[in-house]
A and B are shown apart, each in its own frame.
Chain A
Amino acid sequence: EADIYQTPRYLVIGTGKKITLECSQTMGHDKMYWYQQDPGMELHLIHYSYGVNSTEKGDLSSESTVSRIRTEHFPLTLESARPSHTSQYLCASSDPPTGQILQETQYFGPGTRLLVL
């Protein structure tokens, strides 16, 4: 099971501020993901990474950016926060057991609740 940490857990910030949501995992997983989820709604993949220096946009258009300089760290940045960015942001990581690609499973961090005023 993966140990995934997200900070901050809750953030209230004013419009126009730059924010970075942190995500770290201690299992050495190559694959990491960011999802956005509004209350009672479905998960939307906004970014993913398959390893160091690899980042891709997900299915939902997002004004955020990500970086993957170290395997364990996958921060998400909003250059100028807006009220429309208010949501829960979930980080996940996965790596298949050696030789068992089918059993690759995503594990989620606790999430960051963001409120932009």
Chain B
Amino acid sequence: QKEVEQNSGPLSVPEGAIASLNCTYSDRVSQSFFWYRQYSGKSPELIMSIYSNGDKEDGRFTAQLNKASQYVSLLIRDSQPSDSATYLCAVRNRDDKIIFGKGTRLHILP
């Protein structure tokens, strides 16, 4: 089992709808979780970090963490064509290393 798993997609969402991106992780001890956005040919940029169970909102983005289920998600409200990118989930494991998932490709349909 990979340490951080994401559906590779592509996930197609109509413009204006909510995009929901999911990530599971294997290390129960993990404490820090991150979502990065990566446009094609560019480097990853941090969108959000979350450390506690529950929801964390920042503008159109909401990160959700459920440590009991080892599950972290990212919701994008009012999806825009500019949100089309690959979204990387990252988790800090017990060895203090940040492990990245393979990423989910999101395509917002105009």
Interface residues of A (CB under 8 A from B): 39, 41-43, 45, 88, 90, 94, 102-111, 113
Complex-state Cα separation, A103 to B92, whole angstroms: 10
Contacts of A113 in B (CB 8 A): 41
Contact of A103 among B40, B51, B90 (CB under 8 A): B51
List, sorted by A's number, 30 A–B pairs whose CB atoms are closer than 8 Å: A39-B40, A39-B41, A41-B102, A42-B102, A43-B44, A45-B97, A88-B41, A94-B98, A102-B31, A102-B32, A102-B51, A102-B92, A103-B49, A103-B51, A104-B32, A104-B92, A105-B34, A105-B46, A106-B34, A106-B46, A106-B90, A108-B43, A108-B44, A108-B45, A109-B43, A110-B42, A110-B43, A111-B42, A111-B43, A113-B41
Contacts of B45 in A (CB 8 A): 108
Total chain B interface residues with beta-carbon distance under 8 A: 21
Contact of B43 among A42, A90, A104, A105 (CB under 8 A): A90
Contacts of A43 in B (CB 8 A): 44, 88, 100
Known contacts: A42-B100, A42-B103, A43-B100. The answer to whether A103 contacts B32 by CB under 8 A is: yes
Contacts of A107 in B (CB 8 A): 46
Q: A102-B51, A103-B49 are in contact. List 19 more A-B contacts (CB 8 A).
A: A39-B41, A41-B102, A42-B100, A42-B103, A43-B100, A45-B97, A90-B43, A90-B44, A94-B98, A103-B51, A104-B92, A105-B34, A106-B46, A106-B98, A108-B43, A108-B45, A110-B42, A111-B43, A113-B41
Interface centre among A41, A90, A105, A111 (most CB of B within 10 A): A105
